[in-house]
Amino acid sequence: MQTLFISDLHLSANTPHIAQNYLTLLANEGIKSQAIYILGDFFEVWLGDDGITPQHEPILGALRQLSEAGIPLYFMHGNRDFLIGHRFSEMTGCQLLQDPTIIDLYGTQTLLMHGDLLCTDDIDYMAFRRQVRDPDWQQQFLALEMTKRVEMAKQARDASQSSAKNKSLEIMDVNQQTVEKFLTDAQLTQLIHGHTHRPAIHEFELNGETAKRIVLGDWGAEPSYLIVTPDKMTLLDQRI
């Protein structure tokens, strides 16, 4: 009995080894799981479900096989693939989750997030996020020709990369007070998220209890994933 969590694969045509590791993970661990959660930034970039091409089929098909085998699949948007929509959902069997979402994880109520909402020290990013998560903005963006969307995404990426150079590492990480606020508001002591590419299991005291924040890792040369069973939590990442 296990539940599998992954995030931040940043799949793209340039990273076939990540796609291969992902297919291997689903074949080895996914098939044994009671549920699979993908917590965002599954793709490096996603500019609308109308951009799905036959090249995506191995990635999407592997999910579809698991959902057809009866394994529930859940997908939460990241900051790079927030335009994943209903067509993706239908093609894979993934149910889209709101950010944040609360799940019952073997008796422990657990808050799931992508993680970007926790990085409140990055004021510019939070403003950008509000803009691009606005349904009207998304509708207008998705109505543009794909070539125009590609061009706009490239501009946004270049701008964010050049501004990231001037930001301290602390700004790009979660804000601890924001973490505590999300948990306190939800009356929970367990949080799982990705986004920061700093895989770790943090324990801290919150309102007199021990709280846990599990950070999923990004995928580079090696896969990174979390397996939770009724007895334990294992974060499998070469860096820790």
User: What is the nearest approach in angstroms of Mn ion to the Cβ of residue 78?
Assistant: 4
Of residues 67-96, those binding Mn ion (CB under 5 A): 78-79
Cβ 61 to Mn ion shortest distance, Å: 24
Least separation in angstroms between residue 212's CB and Mn ion is 21
- For the segment 181-200, give every residue that binds Mn ion (CB under 5 A): 195
* Contact residue for Mn ion among 26, 30, 33, 41 (CB under 5 A): 41
Got the DSSP string for 173-235?
S--HHHHHHHHHHHT-SEEEE-SS---EEEEEEETTEEEEEEEPPPPSSS--EEEE-SS-EEE
Interacting stretch for Mn ion, rule CB under 5 A, among 24-32, 34-42, 129-137, 143-151? 34-42
Q: Which residues of 110-145 are buried (b: 16+ CB within 10 A; e: fewer)?
A: bbbbbbbbbbbbbeebeebbeeeeeeeebeebeeee
- Amino acid identity of 218? D
Locate all alpha helices (DSSP H) within the chain, ordered by sequence.
16-28, 57-68, 86-92, 123-132, 135-143, 146-164, 176-186
Question: Total binding residues for Mn ion by CB under 5 A?
Answer: 4
Q: Which residue is nearest to Mn ion (CB)?
A: 195
CB closer to Mn ion, 88 vs 125: 125
Q: Which is nearer to Mn ion, 45 or 73 (CB)?
A: 45
* Closer by beta carbon to Mn ion, 118 or else 228: 118
Instruction: Give contact residues for Mn ion (rule: CB under 5 A).
Output: 41, 78-79, 195
